[in-house]
Amino acid sequence: MATMTTATRPPKVKQTKMFIDGKWLDSCSGKTFETLNPTNEEPIAEVPLAGKEDVDLAVEAARRAFETGDWPKMDARDRGRIMYKIADLIEENIDELAALETLDNGKPIAESRHGDLPFVIDVFRYFAGWADKIHGNTVPIRGNHFCYTKREPVGVAGQIIPWNFPLCMVAWKWAPALAAGCTSVLKPAEQTPLSALRLGELCQEAGIPDGVLNIVTGFGETGAALVDHPGVDKIAFTGEYKTAQIIMRNAAETLKRLTFELGGKSPNIVFADADMDAAVEGSYVGIFLNQGQCCCAGSRLFVEEKAYDAFIDKMASRTKARKVGDPFDPSTEQGPQIDQAQFDKIMSYIDKGKSEGAECVAGGNRVGDKGYYIEPTVFTNVNDDMAIATDEIFGPVLSVIKFKDMDEVVQRANKSAFGLAAAVWTRDIGKAHAIANRVRAGTVWVNCYDVFDAGASFGGFKMSGQGRELGEKALDSYLEDKTVTVNLA
Ligand SMILES: NC(=O)C1=CN([C@@H]2O[C@H](COP(=O)(O)OP(=O)(O)OC[C@H]3O[C@@H](n4cnc5c(N)ncnc54)[C@H](OP(=O)(O)O)[C@@H]3O)[C@@H](O)[C@H]2O)C=CC1
Ligand SMILES: CCCCCC/C=C/C(=O)O
C-alpha cells in the first residue's frame, strides 16, 4: 500500500523517448518538440516529433504483436495478472507520477495525487478483473446445430487522448483494450506527453510483451496518420467534436470502428428545496475541477428563481475565496490552464459574456502576467442564447441561469447539441428521478457531481460522443462477436 505522501516539488523527468515495439526511440526524422510548463511557459523537456514513418513503425509493431504475439492468445487470467502488476507499479510510483502529471499539466498536486492517480489504479484493477470474464453464449438456433458466440479482440486500437486528465485517459483507453486482448498505438496530447511515457516504462516492467503498447508523441499529422492507417482496426478519440467529425470522415475509407468521448455543456439543476450549502459546494466542484477543463463540467447552472439570489451570493463568495496559484502547493485549488490557445479561448468567452450583457459577479480576469492562470469566473443574468451559455468554454467560467419550473428547465437543459452529463439538486426524490429520466445525457448525478467510478460507464448522448468508456460497456468497443455454428447431423 502506498503511503499518503504528496510531492511538493517537480520530479526528475525519467523518460522522454517514444515507445515502439518495446524500444525507446527518437523519431525517424530526429525532430523533437518541447512540452511546456503551463505555470511559467518554459520548456520542461523535448520529446520526439513523430511523423508518418514513426506511426507506420508503431502500427506494424502493434499489428505483429496482435497477429503473431502472445498477448491475444495468452490465458486470459495471465493477461489480468500482468494488468494487476501494472496497477501495483503505478501505486508504488504514485508520488512520482502525480508530480509528473502536475508538472506537465499544471493541475494541483492534491488533485493529481489524491484524485487522478488513485482512479488510474482503480481502472487498471477493474479491467484486470474483466480479462477472464469475457465470453460469449450458446444460441438455440433451428435445426440440428450447435451454435455459440465468442468475443474476440478487435485488433489494433489507435487511441488519441487529450491533455486534461492525461494519465486517467491512458488508463481509460489502455485498460479495456488490454483486457480484451487488443494491442495499441497511443497518441498522447502534445501538451502532456510525459506521464504516458513513464507509464509505458512501468507497463514494460510489469511484463507487457513488446509491441502490445506503443506510444507515438507528436502533433500536426500523428493523429491523422493513425486514422488513415489500414493496419489500425479501431480509433478511440477523446477531444473536440469538430476533430471527431474529421476523424469520422477519414476513417470511412477503411471503415474503422470508432468511439468518441467529446465535449459538453452540462446542465446542473438546483431546485429551491435542495440542501443549498451542498448544492453550492457540488456546483463549485462541478465547474471548477481541473481548472474547468472537464468534458462534463457543469457549466450551465440552472437555479430555481426562488433560490437564485441566495445561491448566487454563496457561489460568488465561495468562488472569490478559491486559491489559485502554484500547483505544487498542496493547498492550491486551481492551477494554470493548459496552454496559450486554451487561455486565449477562455478569455475571449469571458469578454463575450461581458459584452453580451451578462453580469460578472466573480473573477473575469487573468491572474498575474506569467503562466496561463485565469480567475475562477461566475456570470449571472445569463440568457440561454448567449455564447457563454451555448458553447463549451473548457475553462473556469460558470453561467448561472434562472428557471421557474420542472417542465421549463428540462426543455432548456435539453436545448443543446451536447448530452454528456447533467446533475440535479433537490430533497424531493420524485423530482430527482424525473430529471434523471427526462434529461438527455449519458450521466446524471443526483445531489452530487463528478462522481466517477471504474465500473460506471461514461459517455455521451447526441454530439457528446459515441460508445462508452469505463464499466463493462467499455469492453464492447474492443471486441468483435463471432458466431460459430456446428452441424451436429
Ligand atoms: N472531451 C474532452 O475531454 C476534451 C475536449 N476538448 C475540447 O476540444 C477543444 C480543443 O482542444 P484541443 O486539444 O486543441 O483539440 P482536439 O480535441 O482537436 O484534440 C487534439 C488531438 O487530436 C488530434 N487530431 C487533430 N486532428 C486530427 C485528425 N484529423 N485526425 C486524427 N487526430 C487528429 C491531435 O493530434 P495531431 O495534432 O497529431 O493530429 C491531438 O492529439 C478544447 O477547447 C475543448 O473544448 C479538449 C480536450 C479534451
Ligand atoms: C479525479 C478523476 C477525474 C476523472 C475525470 C474524467 C473526466 C473526463 C473528461 O473530462 O474527459
- For 145-280, list the strands marked E by DSSP: 145-153, 156-160, 183-187, 213-215, 234-238, 257-261, 267-270
Query: What's the CATH code of the domain at 225?
Result: 3.40.605.10
How many whole angstroms separate alpha carbon 120 and alpha carbon 175? 9
Domain shared by 241 and 289, yes or no: no
* 359 CA distance to ligand 1 middle (Å): 31
Q: Ligand 2: which of 121, 168, 240 to mutate, most ligand atoms within 8 Å of CB?
A: 168
**Does 147 reside within a domain?**
yes
- Count of domains forming the chain: 2
Give the number of the ligand closest to the Cα of residue 165.
2
* 435 CA distance to ligand 1 middle (Å): 31
* 165 CA distance to ligand 2 middle (Å): 6
CA-to-CA dists, residue 464 to 110, 261, 262, 419, 445, angstroms: 29, 6, 5, 6, 17
Domain shared by 258 and 378, yes or no: no
Domain shared by 181 and 228, yes or no: yes
Residue 342 is placed in which grid cell?
486554451
* 115 CA distance to ligand 2 middle (Å): 9
Domain shared by 146 and 274, yes or no: no
Domain shared by 221 and 345, yes or no: no
DSSP 224: H
pLDDT at residue 435 tops 60: yes
Q: Sorting pLDDT into bands at 50, 70 and 90, what band is 5?
A: low
Q: What is the pLDDT of residue 3?
A: 46
**What's the domain range around 209?**
18-263+464-484
* 40 CA distance to ligand 1 middle (Å): 23
CB 291 less than 6 A from any atom of ligand 1? no
CB 238 less than 6 A from any atom of ligand 1? yes
* 294 CA distance to ligand 2 middle (Å): 6
How many whole angstroms separate alpha carbon 74 and alpha carbon 445? 39
Domain shared by 256 and 369, yes or no: no
Domain shared by 194 and 315, yes or no: no
Q: Ligand 2: which of 160, 452, 464 to mutate, most ligand atoms within 8 Å of CB?
A: 452
Query: What's the CATH code of the domain at 411?
Result: 3.40.309.10
Domain shared by 232 and 295, yes or no: no
Give the number of the ligand closest to the Cα of residue 393.
1
CA-to-CA dists, residue 418 to 56, 367, 440, 453, angstroms: 35, 30, 9, 22
**Does 8 reside within a domain?**
no
The minimum-distance atom of ligand 1 relative to the CA of 189 is 41
CB 472 less than 6 A from any atom of ligand 1? no
The minimum-distance atom of ligand 1 relative to the CA of 187 is 41
Domain shared by 361 and 257, yes or no: no
**Does 315 reside within a domain?**
yes
**Does 199 reside within a domain?**
yes
CB 248 less than 6 A from any atom of ligand 1? no
pLDDT at residue 49 tops 90: yes
Domain shared by 330 and 212, yes or no: no
Residues in the ligand 2 pocket, defined by CB under 6 Å: 115-116, 119, 164-165, 168, 238, 261, 294-296, 452
On the 0-12 / 13-18 / 19+ scale of CB atoms within 10 A, 252 is exposed
Domain shared by 252 and 279, yes or no: no
Give the number of the ligand closest to the Cα of residue 298.
2
Residue 445 is placed in which grid cell?
448525478
Q: Sorting pLDDT into bands at 50, 70 and 90, what band is 301?
A: very high
**Does 454 reside within a domain?**
no
Q: Supply the residues annotated as catalytic.
A: 261
Work out the mean pLDDT of the chain and round it to a whole number.
97
Q: What is the pLDDT of residue 84?
A: 99
Structure confidence by residue, pLDDT tens digits, 446-470: 999 999 999 999 999 999 999 999 9
The minimum-distance atom of ligand 2 relative to the CA of 119 is 2
Give the number of the ligand closest to the Cα of residue 114.
2
* 464 CA distance to ligand 1 middle (Å): 14
Question: Mean pLDDT across the stretch 8-27?
Answer: 96
**Does 280 reside within a domain?**
yes
Domain shared by 259 and 273, yes or no: no
pTM over 0.95: yes
CB 262 less than 6 A from any atom of ligand 1? yes
Q: How much of the chain exceeds pLDDT 70, in percent? A: 99
Structure confidence by residue, pLDDT tens digits, 170-182: 999 999 999 999 9
pLDDT at residue 4 tops 80: no
Residue 311 is placed in which grid cell?
445561491
**Does 148 reside within a domain?**
yes
DSSP track, 275-312: -HHHHHHHHHHHHHGGGG--TT---EEEEEHHHHHHHH
| CB proximity list for 225: less than 8 A, separation 6 or greater | 51, 52, 55, 56
Q: What is the pLDDT of residue 60?
A: 98
**Does 85 reside within a domain?**
yes
